[in-house]
Chains A and B, each alone.
Chain A
Amino acid sequence: MITTLITGLVLGGTYALVAMGLTLQYGISRIMNLAYGEILIFAAFAAFLLFSTLGINPILGLAIVLPLAFAFGYLIYGVMMQPLVARSKKSGTLEVDSILATFGLLFVIQGVMLVVFGSNYTSYNFLNTGINVLGTNIAANRLLAFALAVIIGATLFYVLTRTRWGTTIRAIAVNPDAAPLVGIDVNRTARFAFALGTMLAASGGVMISMYQTFNASMGVVFTMKALVIVIMGGLGNLMGALVAGLLLGIVETLVATHVDPGLTLAATYLLFLGVLLWKPSGLFGKAAGR
């Protein structure tokens, strides 16, 4: 039981981090990004490439991958999303348009990955030694991933809740119409939040590449999990995403060890269904209906 809990928490740490990125993109930039998991997998492949060809370890790899991911997110928002945002001021169709546009993007990124990396499962060996934690043997790479998730997550949380800049971002999430009245440049901040979300997706990808096998068509599953966590935690709620992410990690590990590893996605869906029927606004959310 302790084993399952610890493994689950470690897995949940990565999930929570990934979901925080998505909640930034959806809660603040108002972009429902269906290509989110593809970006994550792309970063996983990047980490794999850096490690296997150049011998750069994934921790240093983060320093290369994350700025690139940030730049990519910044570019994508500027090129693809900004015109949609501008258009939706008249028609109010941003949600549908962003869903459709990112659905197209999903196939583009997936296609690029299939061409470049092929469709085989990939993994590499990094710090694959057991460490004893409370009587449980856990691979060092998983623990490292968890530690990284905690560090990145805590930094983000601190920045968003304690700094002026973070308050600006949250102000947009609370009331996008009133934010410009107090001198906030909504467009610029939304773009920044979107890029930040992309960066978090990439960091999750690097972590996952350290301890899991992955392939080019797995992105959908990660997008799905992140979306379910975001809904469970309440849209745009960082703390909620954190708790829900850990919860999903534990549930998945429980199902994988005690029922069947092939049913983890089904467990995710069941959880999602439960939340939808019981508390559609999320476990910690206040109001839905957007």
Chain B
Amino acid sequence: MTRTILGFILVALGLAALAFLPTQLGAYGVGLLLGMTGYVVLASAWALFSGPTRYVSLATVAFFGIGAYTVAVLSEALPYWAVLLVAAGIGLCVALVVGLATLRLAGVYFVIFTFGLAELIRQLVTWYEVNVTGTLGRYIFLPITAEQIYWQLLGLAAITIAIGWFISRSRLGLALKVIGDDETVAAHTGINIAGVKLALFAVSATIITLVGAIQAPRWTYVEPSIVFNPTISFLTLIMALLGGANRLWGPALGAIPLFLLFEWLSANFPNHYSIILGLLFIAIVFVVPRGVLAGAEDFWKRLRSNGEAA
């Protein structure tokens, strides 16, 4: 019990320090911090669903883009908080449709459905803009500074990780562990498998939508091909995998180094970064399939058991 309280105090102190950080950094530093926090939330939210269920969702950018584009469309018609609510609502609805159609079936169907989802929504939005509204591309003029975006993202990161922590301690978390180990056993112990998966997917997708919505004012100009960029899905996935999708802090741990690496690569090798990242991704799948954290734990255990044997 004291350990939990101590942990809470440490996390709260860390959060306060992070919230204070922008005052010490220049505009570039804040931008970097903002992008990093965005990916920490994306990777953590992705892992919320895909970690325990092992259903690989490739639709991160579909939800991210929905959020960003909703802000672009509605930012002048509604107050900011209402826009965020609407964006979250749309993200939730799409997640429910996708989930209801596929999560009752085998995992492959879900992967396939999410694989093309971003492209589908991008084409639909483009089609709608060209044929109905007659414009492609929108401007966002919102009086929101980079610091404010950063604080919102930081808050969302805290909420996401808190949700992950609560789930791991609740009945839902227990149900998830059983599903992850053996679905047949889970079904026989009376767990509503499809329901649990659907709920989790909806939560994860809503958070991802919110990240897109919150980050949208950073762009000023928004176009379907900008906000539905598949690289975002890819980066989220690789970050969560590197850190370990099954650990609470894993995705955040993977997001920070990879985001910095990505920034460096896109500045120095703008044409080759997707090749480098692709190779890195394959390497991660081969070398640390369960993430660095789990890998380190295994290594530590082996080291200790070796020590005892000797």
A262 to B120, CA, bound (A): 10
- Between A and B, 21 residue pairs with Cβ closer than 8 Å are A34-B115, A83-B286, A84-B286, A93-B54, A96-B107, A103-B58, A104-B238, A104-B281, A104-B285, A107-B274, A107-B275, A108-B274, A110-B278, A111-B272, A220-B119, A223-B116, A265-B119, A269-B116, A269-B120, A273-B101, A277-B101
Is the CB–CB distance between A280 and B108 below 8 Å? no
Q: In the complex, which range does the number of interface residues on chain B fall in?
A: 35 or more
Complex CA–CA separation, A65 to B98 (angstroms) = 38
A221 in the interface (beta carbon within 8 A): yes
**CB contact between A99 and one of B56, B105, B130 (< 8 Å): that residue:** B56
A108 with B275, Cβ < 8 A, contacts A96-B54, A224-B119, A273-B101 known: yes
| B56→A96 contact, CB < 8 A | yes
Q: Known contacts A32-B108, A93-B289, A103-B234: does B275 contact A265 (CB below 8 Å)?
A: no
B187 at the interface (CB under 8 A from A): no
Instruction: State A115–B275 Cα separation when bound (angstroms).
Output: 9
Instruction: Judge whether B111 and A220 touch: CB under 8 Å.
Output: no
A290 & B106 in contact (Cβ 8 Å cutoff): yes
Q: Which residues of A contact B127 (CB under 8 A)?
A: 260, 262-263, 266
Enumerate chain A interface residues (CB-CB to B < 8 A). 32, 34, 80, 83-84, 87, 93, 95-97, 99-101, 103-112, 114-115, 220-221, 223-224, 227-228, 231, 260, 262-263, 265-266, 269, 272-273, 276-277, 280, 288-290
Residues of chain B touching chain A, judged by Cβ–Cβ distance below 8 Å, are 54, 56, 58, 101-102, 105-109, 111-113, 115-116, 119-120, 123-124, 126-127, 130-131, 230, 234, 237-238, 241, 271-282, 285-286, 289
Q: A260-B127, A276-B105 are in contact. Are A224 and B282 (CB under 8 A)?
A: no
With A and B bound together, what is the CA distance between A13 and B124 in angstroms? 26
Please provide the 7 A-B residue pairs with the shortest distance between their CB atoms, ordered closest to farther: A107-B278, A104-B281, A108-B278, A111-B275, A224-B116, A111-B274, A262-B127
